[in-house]
Structure 1
Amino acid sequence: MIVIVLKRKGILEKYNITTYGPVLMIRTTKGLKLLDKLARPGKAWKVYANIGIVLMFIGMVAMFLIVILSDIALLSSIGDNTLPEPGRFNEARNIFLIPGVNEFIPLTWGVIALIVTLVVHEFSHAILCRVEDIRVKSMGILLALVPIGGFAEPDEEELFGKKEEDEEDKPDPYGDRRLGIVIEEEEEEEEEEEKQETQEPKTEEVPEKKATRNQRARILAAGVMANFVVTLIAFSLLFGPVLGAMAPLGNTMVVDVGEDSPAYAAGIREDMVITQLDDTSIANVQEMLDYLDSVEMGSTVQVHAATDRVVSVYDVEVTEENPEITGIMIQDTVEGSPADEAGFEQGTYILSIDGQTIRTVSDFTDFMGTTSPGQEVSVEVAGSDDVSSEYTIELAQHPDEDKGYLGVYTQGNGFVETSLGFSVGEFPAREYLQLLQQLPSMLTGAAGWIIILGLPIIGFAGEGFPGFSGTLAQFYEPVGWAEPLGVGLFWIANSLLWIGWLNFYVGLFNCLPAVPLDGGHVFRDYLYSAIYRLTNNELKAERLSATVSGTFALLILMSFLLMIFGPYFVHGF
């Protein structure tokens, strides 16, 4: 309503703002002189853009294959009745990379990343326009409460050869009221033109400039190239010196403490990270439980716990023996595995293996790391009725490592009771940090690129990685060169993560061969050139390239709609 009122009063037009519904297209001519200065190393910019063309075609093939494979997988799952129910991943709002709309993108870091993405993408288009001597009429942003896009507005006649609508061709806003005047003026103009034709020789009009195919391709690829360069810089900093300046405080966190407990009275609170008990360092829940097993009831333990990376010491009395441990839950078994053949059921608990108590997932993974294929082990399993059974099982060969394989998907209870009167949970902080640091080395294969593309949404195991904020940041502290920065290191890490990821995603998306995306225009141009060389027929090349590129655009649009609405058609809205 505000936009409509401002438009009717002429206020938006006064400030050179165009509206598309509630979306504002805000133009400015400021900075155009700066473009001419930045465009002076013309040869360097052309090399830069030529590399961008190559990367655009690589991205074009990769993204189109992803779309086609996603369609095949989706249609296969529909045929097999295995399509998952609608969830967060296919909600329409999560398709758009708009902070505050997309639930996976945090507002603060998302806005910062989006602004950087738009500026470098559109500014690169504008610079290459000036390098190729194409006029830039204005630059600006698309605004719908928050920025949703940016643009550099080149002269379309010079870039694409499309002539803008002349003022005399536009509909007369005054209609029939001025019809008589207009006709009289046109008759007078025609008479004047006839006189001039008889007196002066006719001169040929100079044709308007039109960019060549290669010039257009460089201009359009420059935005994608800028996004990829920013991605490279941001991720190089993040996965290099920034992550290298982080160290895990510990893996053990307080997840529950009663307000009437001695631990609460001593100052222990939820989300504290346990780093030490007395003089013993605590790296995980198992080490904490082992230490408390050696402490007598009634003794006082000095608990070293960190809040916001500041470690404090709390004196807590051991009020009871370590509670009974229920083990780790079997979520599922692998078909044909030793566990499956033994008859292990979902929802039951592994209590011990070869007499060793299994209290945490770490206990289980550590023990299995010491086994070998063909080894017989005794596994104690209990159901919800607390009735336990013992199985003798011969372990199989692990599919990925040289160790024994039981074939179960496991999960801890989420927390473990301690004799200090509070519950703790475990997060593999050190291992998680190592996985992040190893990501660059994984980019030699397709798996690494897939992880990078889905990192904030899917993460390593479907949990997503929104950055170092909230509870996750509690497990780490800055060290080395970043120690004076304190919490600032995590701000830098989050900014780099989202700047890098959003630029990578936007760059790849713009590679898609679908007009009006940059990749769509480049695809159509080069397709036209290839068809023209084969047929030597300009009209046929134009029609065929338009048809093929239009078909691709429609296919891609239908694919996105299928991803969004497919699960709803199967399972209901």
Structure 2
Amino acid sequence: MDWLLILLGCIAGYVLVLAYIRTYKPFPRFITLYGPIIGLKTDQVGFFDYFRRYSGFLRIYGSIGVAMVVIVSVAMVVMLLLSVNLTLELKPEPTPLHKPQNIFLIPGINEFVPSTFAVWFAFFFTLVIHEFGHAILCRVEQIAVKSMGVLLLIIPIGAFVEPDEEGVKEASSWPRMRMYGAGIINNILVGVISFGLMVSLIGMAVPTQEPVVVGVYKNYSASEADIPVPSIIRTVNGEMVHTSQDVSDILNGTRPGDTVIVGFDKKGEINDYSLNVSTWPEVLGARESGFMGVFYYNGQGVIDTVQSLFSPLGIFMLLSVPFNPTMEGQYLRILGFDIADTEYYKVPFPGYWELIHLLFWSGFINLAAGLFNALPLVPLDGGFIFREGTERILNRRGLARYTDYVVSFVSTGMVVLIVAIFTLPYLFHM
């Protein structure tokens, strides 16, 4: 199947539909255009009124969201400042992380975010959760909601809720801040819950006990013999082995310089390799037995690591998984990527890894969206909350006229910091 032709056909069809809508403006009540983006909308939004019966709780929830946005906003600004300072000190060479297309978490464009069902579902789910938060708090604060809908750019790329602009302007400061903060707290809460469910489910996978070789140590016999990686050790000196402990038990009877015949299974094909075992590296501890120079897949270690990450600091580790080049980071990619490591586990039900991937990306994208939106940068929600708070503070001192200048200065500073993180490595190594 030629996917390029399919893509070109979809683009051509979309352009024709776009031209038709722009020319004839069919169903203006339900279809609108935002540049090249088609918005499908409805004004049937009365169900948001259902949440008004919980106004007391939701106002408290929104107020907590505002407080959380302030805390997260300060933390994010500090992190940006520290990142820029570290970049200035270390002058690192540019990496794929610094490429312009990797600034935003757009599936298929960002090199670290795959274009899979789990990612697109999480991407769309994040937008819906965010926008519904705004809409619900609008109704709680008696601000009208005019419409809601989805945005299309060949495929669904987002959701939107359109509050009544006059109603927003007429509302007082705290209701507006609660409305802005609701989307952020929704994203952060859903992100934490998604990661929590993922961590709970990961323990249901049973890692294989087979001696799965996933790497070799340089300058040792396994590396020099060019053994297949990954592969499974089936025999050692003619003896069948079923676990890495079985292999160790046999090798405990060898000494450096001895030769062992090891049968490696690569995709069902077993081949014997003659390996001259060596002295154990000092970093792995002194032993009298011989050392082949292989290391095994540690499935239980991966599960234990994931379960230990459900903490404030651990969640940031989970957020780094797509970008982490370390060995630990590569092992943790099983949480969000379709890789061969999933074969080394027995799972409790079909679709188990698909569910893990769905929960990982729902947690990842919701938290990333919530943290980014908390920045004091207009037009982000954090920027609007910063504006409201700044105006309240300055108004008490008769200085409200300076609000726009302060907000513009801070917003510009945020843009400079973000751009600096991605461009400085290129400037250092031109």
Q: Which amino acid aligns with 2:141?
A: E
Shift of 1:502: 0.8
Alignment of 1:218-297 (within 5 A): 218-240=178-200, 242-250=201-209, 252-253=211-212, 271=230, 273=232, 280-283=241-244, 287=248, 290=251
Contact 1:95 1:102 in 2 (8 A): yes
Contact 1:142 1:150 in 2 (8 A): yes
User: What percent of counterpart residues are identical?
Assistant: 30
What corresponds to 1:121 in structure 2? 130
What corresponds to 2:79 in structure 1? 66
Shift of 1:280: 4.3
What corresponds to 2:66 in structure 1? 53
Aligned pair 1:467/2:334, yes or no? yes
Q: Distance in 1 between matches of 2:198 and 2:83?
A: 30
Shift of 1:529: 0.6
Paired residue total: 397
Q: Distance in 2 between matches of 1:566 and 1:251?
A: 47
Shift of 1:233: 1.6
Q: Distance in 1 between matches of 2:104 and 2:279?
A: 43
Alignment of 1:533-544 (within 5 A): 533=396, 535=397, 537=398, 540-541=399-400, 543-544=401-402
Shift of 1:461: 5.1
Q: Which amino acid aligns with 2:125?
A: V
Shift of 1:462: 7.2
Q: Which amino acid aligns with 1:223?
A: G
Aligned pair 1:138/2:131, yes or no? no
CA distance 1:327–1:515, shift in 2 (3 Å): farther
Which of 477, 481, 499 is residue 346 of structure 2 equivalent to?
477
Runs of 4+ in 1 over 6 A off after TM superposition: 275-279, 291-294, 296-301, 326-329
Aligned pair 1:525/2:388, yes or no? yes
Q: Distance in 2 between matches of 1:245 and 1:214?
A: 45
Partner secondary structure for residue 85 of structure 1: coil
Q: Distance in 2 between matches of 1:357 and 1:270?
A: 21
Aligned pair 1:457/2:418, yes or no? no
What corresponds to 1:188 in structure 2? none
Q: Distance in 2 between matches of 1:563 and 1:147?
A: 30
Alignment of 1:304-383 (within 5 A): 322-325=274-277, 353=286, 356-360=289-293
Contact 2:233 2:262 in 1 (8 A): no
Q: Which amino acid aligns with 2:76?
A: M
Q: Distance in 1 between matches of 2:209 and 2:109?
A: 34
CA distance 1:146–1:251, shift in 2 (3 Å): farther
What corresponds to 1:334 in structure 2? none
Partner secondary structure for residue 40 of structure 1: helix
Contact 1:94 1:102 in 2 (8 A): yes
Shift of 1:328: 8.6
Contact 1:276 1:282 in 2 (8 A): no
CA distance 1:244–1:467, shift in 2 (3 Å): same
Shift of 1:220: 0.8
Aligned pair 1:491/2:360, yes or no? no
Give the alignment's TM-score, normalised by structure 1: 0.62
CA distance 1:300–1:439, shift in 2 (3 Å): closer
Q: Distance in 2 between matches of 1:121 and 1:523?
A: 18
Q: Distance in 1 between matches of 2:355 and 2:198?
A: 8
**For the pair shown, which has the larger CA radius of gyration, 1 or 2?**
1
Aligned pair 1:90/2:98, yes or no? yes
Alignment of 1:538-553 (within 5 A): 540-541=399-400, 543-553=401-411
Partner secondary structure for residue 69 of structure 2: helix
- For structure 1, the residue ranges without an aligned partner over 5 or more in a row are 78-82, 162-209, 257-268, 308-313, 330-338, 340-349, 361-415, 417-424
- For structure 2, the residue ranges without an aligned partner over 5 or more in a row are 1-14, 216-227
CA distance 1:47–1:471, shift in 2 (3 Å): same
Partner secondary structure for residue 308 of structure 2: helix
Contact 1:117 1:502 in 2 (8 A): yes
Q: Which amino acid aligns with 1:551?
A: F
Contact 1:250 1:284 in 2 (8 A): no
Partner secondary structure for residue 334 of structure 2: coil
Contact 1:456 1:467 in 2 (8 A): no
CA distance 1:96–1:3, shift in 2 (3 Å): farther
What corresponds to 2:7 in structure 1? none
Q: Distance in 2 between matches of 1:45 and 1:549?
A: 28
What corresponds to 1:40 in structure 2? 53
Partner secondary structure for residue 137 of structure 1: strand
CA distance 1:427–1:50, shift in 2 (3 Å): same
Aligned pair 1:515/2:381, yes or no? no
Q: Which amino acid aligns with 1:569?
A: L
Partner secondary structure for residue 548 of structure 1: helix
Shift of 1:570: 2.1
What corresponds to 1:558 in structure 2? 416
Shift of 1:435: 1.0
Partner secondary structure for residue 84 of structure 1: coil
- Which structure's relative contact order is higher, taking Cα pairs within 8 Å and 6+ residues apart? 2
What corresponds to 1:380 in structure 2? none
What corresponds to 2:114 in structure 1? 106
